[in-house]
């Protein structure tokens, strides 16, 4: 990782990880962006990773499995991607949104605790997952603030403190 620039601003519109004032949040993002350009005028920033935090962040554990069609062939990345994508359909409380799905350990048939099943053969591939959720409106307000500041959110990153990574 190489730091190309650095900009900082007080986020007066954000409290406890929640956007309470969109206009002040937009101004803070724009100020941080201006400060970043001041540290390196050659930068062209259009996408950002946005830190998300707050009391609305929750997590849950789930389990998912897929049955493979071609058991003689090795397990491929697209099968793992499908297994992870299936977790985005997990039931979560109304008003929440899935932020991230993190596979923790895989199983292939009767083999457990496999860190990476690619290359294995088997009928059934499964995994335990850690799912991070947040309040849908809080996420929408964060994304709206970033967009109104002239940027696109590339991804949300769970943070101990709210952060905008340019």
Domain ranges of the chain: 14-54+137-165, 63-136
Q: How confident is the model at residue 162 (pLDDT cuts 50, 70, 90)?
A: low
Question: Tens digit of pLDDT for each residue in 129-150?
Answer: 999 999 999 999 999 999 999 9
25, with CB counted inside 10 A (0-12, 13-18, 19+), is: buried
In 3D, which of 166, 138, 148 has the Cα closest to residue 15?
A: 138
In 3D, which of 35, 22, 10, 54 has the Cα closest to residue 146?
A: 22
pLDDT at 133: 96
Residue 120 near residue 114, CB atoms below 8 Å: yes
Question: Tens digit of pLDDT for each residue in 86-116?
Answer: 999 999 999 999 999 999 999 999 899 999 9
The CATH label, of 1.10.10.10, 3.30.420.130, 3.30.1490.110, 3.20.20.70, for the domain at 63-136 is 3.30.1490.110
Percent of the chain with pLDDT over 90: 75
pLDDT at 12: 83
pLDDT at 163: 55
**pLDDT > 90? residue 15:** no
Q: What is the mean pLDDT of residues 1-5?
A: 83
Give pTM, 2 decimals.
0.83
């Amino acid at each position: 990782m190489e730091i190309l620039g650095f900009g900082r601003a007080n986020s007066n519109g954000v409290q406890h990880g929640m956007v309470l004032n969109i206009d002040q949040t937009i101004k803070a993002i724009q100020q941080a962006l201006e400060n970043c350009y001041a540290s390196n005028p050659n930068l062209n920033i259009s996408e950002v990773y946005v830190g998300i935090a707050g009391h609305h962040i929750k997590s849950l554990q789930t389990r998912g499995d897929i049955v493979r069609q071609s058991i003689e062939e090795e397990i491929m990345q697209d099968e793992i991607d499908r297994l992870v994508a299936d977790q985005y359909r997990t039931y979560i409380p109304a008003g929440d949104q899935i932020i991230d799905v993190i596979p923790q350990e895989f199983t292939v048939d009767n083999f457990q605790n496999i860190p990476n099943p690619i290359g294995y053969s088997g009928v059934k591939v499964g995994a335990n997952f850690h799912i991070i959720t947040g309040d849908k409106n809080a996420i929408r307000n964060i994304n709206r603030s970033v967009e109104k500041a002239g940027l696109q959110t590339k991804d949300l990153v769970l943070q101990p403190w709210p952060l905008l990574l340019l």
